[in-house]
Amino acid sequence: MASYTVTHEKAECLYEIYERKPELKHQTHYCPGCGHGIALKLLARAIDEAGIRDRTIMVSPVGCSVFLYYYFDVGNVQVSHGRAPAVGTGLSRSLPESIVISYQGDGDLAAIGTAEILHAANRGESMMVVFVNNGIYGMTGGQMAPTTPLGKKSTTTPFGRNEWTDGPPVRMSEILNALDAPVFIERVGLGDNKQIMQAGKAFRRALDIQVKRQGFSFLEVLSPCPTIWKLDPVDAQRFIREDMAKTFPIGNLRDRTKDALSRPAPKPAPPIAELPRILELTDDTPEEPVATPSKPLDLRLRIAGFGGQGVLMLGEVLAEAGLEAGYNVSWLPSYGPEMRSGTSNCHVRICSDPVDSPLVSNPSVLIAMNEPSLRKFLPSVEPGGMVIYNGETEPPEDCRRPDVRFITAHFTALADSLGSSKATNIVMLGALLEAEDLIEEKYVASALRGKVKSQRWLNIDFAAIERGREIACPV
């Protein structure tokens, strides 16, 4: 009696019975003669041969690709239309030991998901992408695909795909081949025995790149869709060979497996105890007890000037100093185009009670670093409040208020004489500290040290505070 041994059978990484399928659990959902089943089988065989079933995660988006999780006994993530490479990115970045395979159709990858595939490829994500190109929208019933050949009829190109209205078919392999990062790009066909055997090799190769963690591999599969093409399965194969292959030439476009390096392993995570230091939440200075505010305070500041004059920085220094002095503080910038020059202003509150609103609509102190700022905010200053104004001359006639105390000086010229006009804001800060008994200077100095890292600048800033104090000091 002759004895036989099995040479070809269903791959181990495919379920024996498709329990996730609602019915007909022995069969795939693919139509007779569909190329998906063949592509899936070649992929399954490659996974078996590589011995990576447990590590594999299959990402299947919308279209006839969607039901891969019926068949593959691997980790499965079903995703939205076109976004599989983005989802694959999220998986592979967090799971560097896994093998991520995105399996997408032509509407998915070459139309709605072009941004996702292009950028995943460009980043060289550790991911294998199988692109099943059958030149038509199969699952939705035969609408034009981005890869439908010119002249071919579909339900949305009833007169044939027109170069002038629909554009020519999109060649994704060639587009991706313009990028630097991909390691492997090949187009195979399922048009006959020879093409299928060649495709099997390409599947193995594209997957091996993942096993070696070399980066991004892309395999385009020209696949028959006999039902929608309205061809019998044998003629559909011929259509691949004789028609599709003209628009989409079969062959390897890139194979850099010999030169490609393995992606470096991610750095080990630091111990949890290190996180506060990493997040800059620890303080090198010896722990001092939180200061008790020396007196009640309800300071509502508005600081305004041109972008680049240090408006926001001055506000931050004051808020930081207030915090160190034991007060409740808030700092609120008017953000936006100001960041790219223009006018800039911020609200600062330093008070004994908790800060209710961080918005300062009626400041008790206005620091106006130029005339437009004075003009804009002077009317809002509360009666009895103070204005520190940076002007070459006294404020114009229409920018004066008898019920507000003014300190006017050309602070920019003073700062300039100290070495940099950029210290204008700090000279004005000195004037404020002298004019009002607000916060002890040691807290301001400490806040400045925290913000200004260069000793040269610190020296200028401390000199600037002194200069400002002299200006505000009643003679």
What is the nearest approach in angstroms of another protein to the Cβ of residue 421? 26
What is the nearest approach in angstroms of another protein to the Cβ of residue 15? 9
What is the nearest approach in angstroms of another protein to the Cβ of residue 127? 10
The only residue of 158, 259, 265, 269 in contact with another protein, by rule CB under 8 A: 269
The only residue of 46, 47, 77, 172 in contact with another protein, by rule CB under 8 A: 77
- Amino acid letter for position 226: P
Residue ranges in 221-250 that form contacts with another protein under rule CB under 8 A: 226, 232-234, 237
Residue ranges in 1-40 that form contacts with another protein under rule CB under 8 A: 2-11, 14, 16, 20, 22, 24, 26-28, 30-38, 40
Count the alpha carbons within 13 Å of 463 in the hemisphere toward its beta carbon. Answer: 16
What is the nearest approach in angstroms of another protein to the Cβ of residue 126? 11
The only residue of 66, 367, 429, 444 in contact with another protein, by rule CB under 8 A: 66
Residue ranges in 119-148 that form contacts with another protein under rule CB under 8 A: 119, 123
- Measure the CA–CA gap between 311 and 29, rounded to whole angstroms: 66
263 in contact with another protein (CB under 8 A):
no
265 in contact with another protein (CB under 8 A):
no
Q: Which long-range contacts (CB under 8 A, 24 or more apart) does 112-115 make?
A: 112/81, 112/82, 113/61, 113/81, 113/82, 113/83, 113/84, 113/85, 114/82
* Closer CB to another protein, 142 or 200, in the complex: 200
Residue ranges in 304-323 that form contacts with another protein under rule CB under 8 A: 316, 319-320, 323
Residue 326: exposure state from Cβ atoms within 10 A (0-12, 13-18, ≥19): middle
What is the nearest approach in angstroms of another protein to the Cβ of residue 254? 22
* Closer CB to another protein, 8 or 453, in the complex: 8
- Measure the CA–CA gap between 353 and 345, rounded to whole angstroms: 24
What is the nearest approach in angstroms of another protein to the Cβ of residue 268? 7
- Amino acid letter for position 202: A
* Closer CB to another protein, 194 or 456, in the complex: 194
Residue ranges in 189-228 that form contacts with another protein under rule CB under 8 A: 192-193, 196-197, 200, 226
User: Residue 127 belongs to what H/E stretch?
Assistant: strand 127-133
- At residue 24, φ and ψ (nearest 5 deg) are 50, 60
* Closer CB to another protein, 258 or 267, in the complex: 267
Q: Pick the stretch among 87-95, 160-168, 410-418, 465-473 that binds another protein (CB under 8 A).
A: 87-95
The only residue of 264, 273, 398, 475 in contact with another protein, by rule CB under 8 A: 273
Written as six digits, the tokens of 239 are 């259509």
333 in contact with another protein (CB under 8 A):
yes
What is the nearest approach in angstroms of another protein to the Cβ of residue 337? 8
Q: Which residues of 77-108 are buried (b: 16+ CB within 10 A; e: fewer)?
A: bbbebbbbbbbbbebbeeeeebbbbbbbbbbb
What is the nearest approach in angstroms of another protein to the Cβ of residue 14? 5
Please name which of 302, 283, 281 lies closest in space to residue 382, comparing C-alpha atoms.
302
* 384 to 423: interface string for another protein, x by CB under 8 A: ----------------------------------------
- Measure the CA–CA gap between 366 and 349, rounded to whole angstroms: 12
The only residue of 283, 298, 392, 394 in contact with another protein, by rule CB under 8 A: 283
Q: Which residues of 111-138 are buried (b: 16+ CB within 10 A; e: fewer)?
A: bbbbebbbebbebbbbbbbbbbbbbbbb
Residue ranges in 89-108 that form contacts with another protein under rule CB under 8 A: 89-95, 97-100
Contact 325, 374 (CB under 8 A): no
- Measure the CA–CA gap between 376 and 59, rounded to whole angstroms: 58
The only residue of 57, 351, 460, 472 in contact with another protein, by rule CB under 8 A: 57
Q: Which DSSP category does 294 fall into? A: S
- Measure the CA–CA gap between 212 and 179, rounded to whole angstroms: 21
What is the nearest approach in angstroms of another protein to the Cβ of residue 319? 6
Written as six digits, the tokens of 156 are 């949305």
- Measure the CA–CA gap between 137 and 212, rounded to whole angstroms: 34
Q: Strand 216-222 vs strand 127-133: parallel, antiparallel, or unpaired?
A: parallel
- Measure the CA–CA gap between 59 and 132, rounded to whole angstroms: 14
Written as six digits, the tokens of 230 are 């309205």
Please name which of 93, 95, 113 lies closest in space to residue 103, comparing C-alpha atoms.
113
Residue ranges in 346-375 that form contacts with another protein under rule CB under 8 A: 355-359, 361-362
* Closer CB to another protein, 206 or 329, in the complex: 329
How many residues of this chain bind another protein (CB under 8 A)? 114
* Closer CB to another protein, 37 or 142, in the complex: 37
- Measure the CA–CA gap between 460 and 80, rounded to whole angstroms: 58
* Closer CB to another protein, 197 or 413, in the complex: 197
